[in-house]
Structure 1
Amino acid sequence: MRNFSAIIFLLNTLCLSQSSFAQAGESGFDPTIKMKGLIHSRLEVSLTDSVDVQNKFSAEPISSNFRIRRLELRSDIKLTNKFSGVIRIQLPALKTTSTNTGNVIELGYLEYKVRNEFQIRFGQFKIPYELDELTSHEDLRMVDRGTTSVLMVNNFQASYQPGLMLFGNLLKDKTPLNYYLAVVNGGNRALAYDDNAQKNLIGRLEFFPVKGFRIGAGGQIVALTDATGNSYGVDLQVIQNVSTKTKLIVEGEYIQAINLADYAADTTALKDIADFNLSGYFGQVLFKIDIDKSWCKTFEAGGKYENTDPRTAVDANSFSTITGNIGFTFLPDNTARLQFNIVHTSWDTPISGTIDAGNMFVTQFQLKI
């Protein structure tokens, strides 16, 4: 009932903005389409015996692998100053035959801007949740997003979802405050239809007390047919110039969500969804140094620590990662970027025998067109 009321609220809000839609013609019809492309090509090497390139135990591990991590095409469509849209296609991995529409079409939404304070997005979009996921893959601090982010995506509480979102920017000229309110399926986006009638509700606020300093907080109601769980998180971002040529980026987050996979797999007659919480926290630092040479525009160096607990109710279930990163940007705006990462993973419980730690080397080249 709570989800239904929230959906009605969003629909009423849309109806109230109807008069603003009528004014769209005043903005002038001037359609434009901008096409973009991106490729991530990488090499992964396991530096630990009996641990493969997916960081899993194997008696006969595949210790090295070349692959295309991401290959995408994007169209940014602008019809008027108020109406716009985005279509982004993620081509299937070259080593698979998957052509599932929900995974191939990552972004596909329409957007209407009433004013800066009130905007509407409808379609499949990135939901406003989890700091790593909200960071563009074109500008990730490390090569990959974190382990907590991956776990949340696999449990349909982050990344791309079909739905409706209201968002805007308040107090723009003073201390900006961004708000986001979304209702989404909260299920496997690869399915043509949702697997239940319930919908996830997501809210997020971002406050900028001073320039380059952002505090974020969000919550999500995770609705299932037979239960409702709650997720919440807080995050911090600082981006400052520490010298004329050096930029410092500091970010951190704590988040708690629901392990839906474990909940669905549990056949206990009476089970409490609160016993299936997952959690994670991370902190990362990155220096970007403008060297502006003919062979390299920017040099970067940094590191990240993250702890992930797939089930907080289960003892000795968590694991942590320490990542070291150096990178080189050869063209402006990360158009050509090369990164090198060393990733150390420690498991509270050995993944096999005495193996409770592993090391990986990952290098990735990014090219934008």
Structure 2
Amino acid sequence: MNKTLLIKIAFVFLLLPFFMNAQGNVNQAESSEEIGKYPQFQFKGLLQARYLESFGDNVDVLGMHHSTGDVTQSSFDIKRMRVGLNTKLSEATEVVILVNLADFKSDTKGKVLENAYGKYTFNKYIALTGGQFRPAFGIEELVPVDIIKSFDFSNQYYEFGKNGWTSFQIGASATGAFDIGKIPVNYALSVLNGNGKNQEMDKDNGKQYSTRWVFELSKTHKINLGLNGGYGKVFKEKVFAVGADITSDFKLTDRFTFDLQIEYKQGTNHNLYFSLPAESRTPNVADYQMRGIYFLPNLRYVVNYKKLTSLELSCRYETFDPSYKVDSNVRQTYTPMISLEFGKAYLGRIEMGFEIDRFDRNIPDSAYYNDNLFLIQLQLRL
């Protein structure tokens, strides 16, 4: 019996106790269905429209350097135009669909459809999700892009997404919560194809297994510690990913709050390894490892003056290296931002600031080039 099959069997047996514990709640859920009115529909939408201006030396608004000097350095853009539908088929069963219509502005292959999954909740201890979704593997995977404290997700989020651990993936997941003594714990166990969204099938027979555990260390200051780990095979090569993160939220006064996110990740960059010609790479995929860390402090002041709800100031600092063992080129990114919130829960939002990139080595005619990008972003959500 091979190791992969043993891992799959262990994964199933790990979930069995949760299933057995959940059976006693199924009848109760069914009786609730008779009382409630199903299906229930909830429509969601998000618009993010931006103005971009690059102050980099011959760098366009997408971050690409052009040695010819023929470059677009100012532009309006639709970053996201999402439309989503959440359907409750019963008290325990839901189906979620999310599409990004802004993807139609370019080649739509592998784009547009984002969420497409079903979820069944047995009880607080276990819920099963299957389809295309964002597996839990860090802070950003559990937060919608429209309520993050910066313009967009971090560089490490997108790079780990290319390697099958974050962003939208196809697979299955078990999630739930329980207490260890007085400490609340949330967990997630996922098995994924690992080759991104909207794929006809897995690129190989390998799967990627990941888990996330979050420990609530303080309810008063909302201090949470997250631990992540993953293992798998890609084209018969062993790959891994690990991470740790911490979040906190301090109420300074009745109007001022300060929250902080710190996240570290490291893992195999097999996406980079297999994209290189065989003659130009080392024979060992483990030589290609990515790692990064970011700090995101955010200060919020509640205004509640007419339609203006709050004022927020944030500045994310991130350092990320896509291959720190071979051909290292560290990217440091500073993202200072001021945000005006209108309505509750970021119903309307105007953001302004910079994305400042600095590389150890500038590579002409590539995206690995120093840049200063100015942004104004309008966000509307429903």
The interval holding the TM-score normalised by the smaller chain is over 0.9
Counterpart-to-counterpart distance in 2, 1:159 and 1:2: 27
Question: TM-score normalised to the size of structure 2?
Answer: 0.89
1:37 equivalenced with 2:45 (yes/no): yes
Instruction: In structure 2, give the amino acid aligned to 1:84.
Output: E
Stretches of structure 2 that go unaligned for 5 or more consecutive residues are none
In the alignment, is the contact (CA less than 8 A) between 1:28 and 1:81 conserved in 2? Answer: yes
Deviations 1:266-292 (A, max 9, x none): 415971121011111111101111000
Counterpart-to-counterpart distance in 2, 1:190 and 1:82: 26
In the alignment, is the contact (CA less than 8 A) between 1:143 and 1:363 conserved in 2? Answer: no
**Ranges of 4+ aligned residues in structure 1 off by more than 6 Å:** none
Match of 2:278 in 1: 267
1:208 equivalenced with 2:216 (yes/no): yes
Q: What is the aligned counterpart of 1:230 among 237, 240, 247?
A: 240
1:198 equivalenced with 2:202 (yes/no): no
Please state whether the residue corresponding to 1:127 is helix, strand or coil: coil
Match of 1:26 in 2: 31
Instruction: In structure 1, give the amino acid aligned to 2:245.
Output: D
Which deviates more from structure 2 when the two are superposed, residues 152-161 or residues 195-204?
A: 152-161
Which deviates more from structure 2 when the two are superposed, residues 8-17 or residues 103-112?
A: 8-17
Q: What is the aligned counterpart of 2:362 among 327, 331, 350?
A: 350
Match of 1:121 in 2: 129
Counterpart-to-counterpart distance in 1, 2:263 and 2:104: 33
Deviations 1:81-108 (A, max 9, x none): 222221112224342252x4x5322111
Counterpart-to-counterpart distance in 1, 2:358 and 2:254: 38
In the TM superposition, residue 134 of structure 1 has moved relative to its aligned partner by: 3.0
Aligned-residue RMSD, C-alpha? 2.2
Relative distance call for 1:46 and 1:327 in structure 2 (3 A) is same
Match of 2:78 in 1: 68
Q: What is the aligned counterpart of 1:140 among 133, 136, 148?
A: 148
Equivalent pairs counted in the alignment come to: 366
Counterpart-to-counterpart distance in 1, 2:369 and 2:111: 33
Which deviates more from structure 2 when the two are superposed, residues 70-79 or residues 196-205?
A: 70-79
In the alignment, is the contact (CA less than 8 A) between 1:124 and 1:162 conserved in 2? Answer: yes
In the alignment, is the contact (CA less than 8 A) between 1:235 and 1:251 conserved in 2? Answer: yes
Please state whether the residue corresponding to 1:292 is helix, strand or coil: strand
Counterpart-to-counterpart distance in 1, 2:185 and 2:157: 24
In the TM superposition, residue 315 of structure 1 has moved relative to its aligned partner by: 4.7
Q: What is the aligned counterpart of 1:85 among 95, 115, 123?
A: 95
Which deviates more from structure 2 when the two are superposed, residues 18-27 or residues 29-38?
A: 18-27
Q: What is the aligned counterpart of 1:257 among 242, 267, 282?
A: 267
In the TM superposition, residue 219 of structure 1 has moved relative to its aligned partner by: 0.6
Match of 2:169 in 1: 161
Which deviates more from structure 2 when the two are superposed, residues 294-303 or residues 147-156?
A: 147-156
Counterpart-to-counterpart distance in 1, 2:24 and 2:5: 25
Stretches of structure 1 that go unaligned for 5 or more consecutive residues are none
Counterpart-to-counterpart distance in 2, 1:40 and 1:109: 24
Counterpart-to-counterpart distance in 2, 1:118 and 1:225: 32
In the alignment, is the contact (CA less than 8 A) between 2:268 and 2:288 conserved in 1? Answer: yes
